[in-house]
């Protein structure tokens, strides 16, 4: 009797399973349920009907449009600011160099007292400055980047000759040099802003002229490798030459706005000659400040070796 009872229970369970699931499939609801009840069952998978109903909702549609407009405005704002402070098209101008330009530029940095023409050439078509490969006086970013990398390599060689080389120390010196470079550029930009000096200098121009000193720092380290006492003679000459180089290059760029400011001041009530004189003094202060920063950083980043 127990066997038959167990057999009857098993048969009942099998029939219920066959009627309830086998006909409709293991993942389908019971055929006894209505179509309205089937639509109300939440599905763990993506349901295109629910997505269509969401977009048909006016509140949801308004939220989607607002989010899309906000994203477009943010994208436009980011593009405008990136182009303002870091334009790729403008950056290409500073790397438009060739071998002839690099050789002439290094010669002028090494012997700036022999150069007679410091003017920057401009295109006759649109009035923009010609690329560096067509004008040796135009600033570039190729020499500063390559000089910075070579300076780090020279630091490694110098540490190796002193049995002090280690990857950690080389990384520390590289980070320190890059940090001081950023500080120098920020100091120059801050001085121009505080003194309200409007000049033709751009951010990339400041970075280029600030990076030229790494070539002189390489010469200082090379002189120390050849003869330790020769470091001070090389340092003295490099500081004098780079100071003169910076003064002659930045003179026209910083003093370029004098005529425009003088013409604008003539329409005011104050004396234009006094304002022009005060503006000239501020520009001279900025020019001397930028030029005298070069020997200071050259000495600071080379004397420790």
Instruction: Classify the C-alpha dihedral 5-11-13-15 as positive or negative.
Output: negative
Tell me the per-residue pLDDT of 55-105, one tens digit each, with 9 for 90 and over. 555 655 665 666 666 666 666 655 555 555 556 777 889 999 999 999 999
Tell me the per-residue pLDDT of 155-168, one tens digit each, with 9 for 90 and over. 999 999 999 999 99
pLDDT of residue 180: 96
Lowest-confidence pick of 83-92, 165-174, 226-235, 295-304:
83-92
- Residue ranges of domains in the chain: 125-300
Is pLDDT above 70 for 233? yes
pLDDT of residue 20: 47
Q: What is the DSSP letter of 112?
A: G
- pLDDT category at 229 given cuts 50, 70, 90 is confident
pLDDT of residue 111: 96
Average pLDDT over every residue of 176-204: 93
Is pLDDT above 60 for 106? yes
Q: How high does pLDDT run on average in the chain?
A: 78
Q: What is the DSSP letter of 125?
A: T
- pLDDT category at 192 given cuts 50, 70, 90 is very high
Classified as helix, coil or strand, 270 is coil
pLDDT of residue 268: 44
Is pLDDT above 80 for 185? yes
pLDDT of residue 64: 60
Average pLDDT over every residue of 30-38: 51
pLDDT of residue 130: 92
- The DSSP element (H or E) to which 176 belongs, if any, is helix 167-194
pLDDT of residue 91: 84
CA 260, CA 55: separation in Å to the nearest integer? Answer: 59
Task: Determine contact, residues 147/110, Cβ cutoff 8 Å.
Answer: no
pLDDT of residue 27: 46
pLDDT of residue 128: 85
Residues 6 or more apart whose Cβ sits within 8 Å of residue 120:
129, 135, 137, 138, 252, 253
């Amino acid at each position: 009797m127990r066997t038959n009872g167990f057999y009857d229970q098993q048969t009942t369970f099998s029939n219920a399973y066959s009627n309830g699931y086998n006909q409709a499939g293991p993942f389908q609801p019971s055929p006894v349920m209505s179509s309205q009840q089937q639509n109300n069952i939440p599905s763990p998978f993506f349901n295109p009907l629910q997505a269509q109903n969401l977009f048909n909702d006016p509140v949801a549609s308004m939220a989607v449009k607002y989010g899309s407009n906000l994203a477009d405005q943010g994208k436009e704002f980011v593009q405008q600011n990136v182009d303002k402070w870091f334009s790729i098209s403008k950056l290409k101008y500073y790397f438009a160099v060739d071998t002839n330009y690099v050789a002439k530029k290094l010669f002028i940095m090494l012997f700036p007292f022999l150069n007679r023409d410091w003017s920057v050439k401009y295109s006759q078509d649109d009035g923009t400055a010609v690329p560096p490969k067509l004008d040796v006086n135009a600033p570039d970013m190729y020499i500063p980047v390559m000089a910075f990398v070579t300076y780090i390599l020279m630091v490694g060689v110098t540490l190796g000759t002193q049995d002090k080389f280690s990857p950690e120390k080389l990384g520390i010196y590289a980070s320190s040099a890059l940090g001081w470079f950023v500080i120098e550029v920020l100091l120059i930009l801050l001085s121009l802003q505080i003194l309200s000096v409007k000049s033709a200098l751009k951010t990339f121009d400041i970075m280029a002229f600030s990076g030229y000193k790494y070539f002189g720092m390489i010469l200082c380290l090379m002189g120390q490798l050849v003869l330790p006492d020769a470091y001070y003679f090389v340092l003295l000459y490099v500081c004098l030459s780079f100071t003169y180089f910076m003064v002659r290059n930045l003179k026209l760029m910083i003093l370029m706005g004098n005529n425009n400011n003088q013409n604008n001041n003539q329409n005011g009530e104050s004396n234009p000659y006094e304002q022009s004189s005060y503006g000239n003094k501020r520009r001279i202060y900025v020019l001397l400040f930028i030029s005298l920063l070069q020997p200071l950083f050259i000495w600071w980043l080379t004397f420790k070796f």
